[in-house]
Structure 1
Amino acid sequence: MTDGTTDEPTGAREVRAIREVVAVVERTQRAKDPDGFLALFRPDSLWTTAHGRVLVGFDAIAAFTREALPRADWDGEVTYEVAHVQFLRPDVAAVKVRQVYHGPGGDSEGTPLYLMSRDEDGRWLLHVGQNTAVQAG
């Protein structure tokens, strides 16, 4: 099935849009840009940090992000790679990401799981996130 405006299959177009959101996550994390990062969230989002802090709702996520991201103790070198996309419904996707922070003392890895959903304007946004630090060894 195509999307009606191009010859691109609808599923491929949706995966491309989801990959672009993850690319923006990477760019905003590298730039330590809280506002750019927060623009990717739905108002009723839920987020759990890699260290287990649970943030319920956009206001809690925004307060944490505005405090933590600009003062993060890493040099901004981070990569995000979409490892898997699983559509739960046409407008909801589970997205597994490989996240690597590159630092002078070596790399550290995270393995976020994002639940993304399309908003009323058709934009894919972060709805739920669970980041998990990958233990060495």
Structure 2
Amino acid sequence: MTTETTETTGTEAADIQAIKEIVATVQRTQRAKDPEGFLALFHPDALWTTGHGKVLIGLDAIAEFTRAVLPAANWEGEVTYEPVHIQFLRPDVAAVKVRQVYRSAEEESEGAPLYVMTKRGDGKWLLHACQNTQVQAG
């Protein structure tokens, strides 16, 4: 899949690249089961809903869950995260649709996260409101 966006300005092109780098860091930290690297991507007031519907409000709740679950994740194989659509809601707010694929020797499953990201005053993009949804087969 390719990333879809509307026509971009030079600033938007730089923002798109920065957003893609955040998604790539999500992929890297998930593969490495690195909770601290993953948590560094979040806004302090973030909201996260897991693929199984658990709602986590604020970085403290996200951190508690992530530190307990991610290092102990019992899956073998590879996970990929690909931004497939980036839509700027405002110059400092973007909705990012991601294709998440888990592959193992036995099976493949897919998720369809939506990341609402915000840009800080220093230009850094952060995950702010995220929903991870499992894609059902069929």
Which of the five TM-score ranges fits, normalised by the shorter chain? Answer: over 0.9
Q: Which moved more, 1:116-125 or 1:16-25?
A: 116-125
Q: Where does structure 1 lack aligned partners over 5 or more consecutive residues?
A: 1-7
2:119–2:125 Cα contact (<8 Å) kept:
yes
Quote the sequence identity (%): 67
The Cα shift of 1:76 comes to 5.3
Residues 24-103 of structure 1 mapped to structure 2, 5 A cutoff: 24-75=25-76, 77-103=78-104
Counterparts in 2 of 1:65 and 1:131: CA distance versus 1, 3 Å: same
* 1:4-49: CA deviation from partner (whole Å, max 9, x where unpaired): xxxx811111101000000000000000000000000000000000
8 Å contact from structure 1 (residues 32, 76) kept in 2: no
Q: Distance in 1 between matches of 2:77 and 2:68?
A: 16
Question: TM (normalized to structure 1)?
Answer: 0.92
- Contact kept, 8 Å, 1:28 with 1:34, in 2: the verdict is yes
Q: Which amino acid aligns with 2:116?
A: L
Say whether residues 1:105 and 2:116 are aligned partners: no
> Structure 2: which 5+ runs fail to align?
1-8
SS at match of 1:104: coil
Instruction: Write out aligned runs for 1:113-124 (5 A).
Output: 113-124=114-125
Contact 2:29 2:37 in 1 (8 A): yes
Q: Matched residues in 2 for 1:104 and 1:66: separation? A: 27
Whether contact under 8 Å (1:29, 1:76) holds in the other structure is no
Paired residue type of 1:132: T
* Other structure's SS at 1:44 match: strand
Spell out, residue by residue over 1:68-95, the C-alpha distance to the aligned partner (whole angstroms, 9 max, x if none): 0011111251000000000000000000
Q: 4+ residue stretches of structure 1 with deviation over 4 A?
A: none
Supply the RMSD in Å over aligned alpha carbons.
1.0
Q: Within 1, Cα distance between the matches of 2:52 and 2:130? A: 13
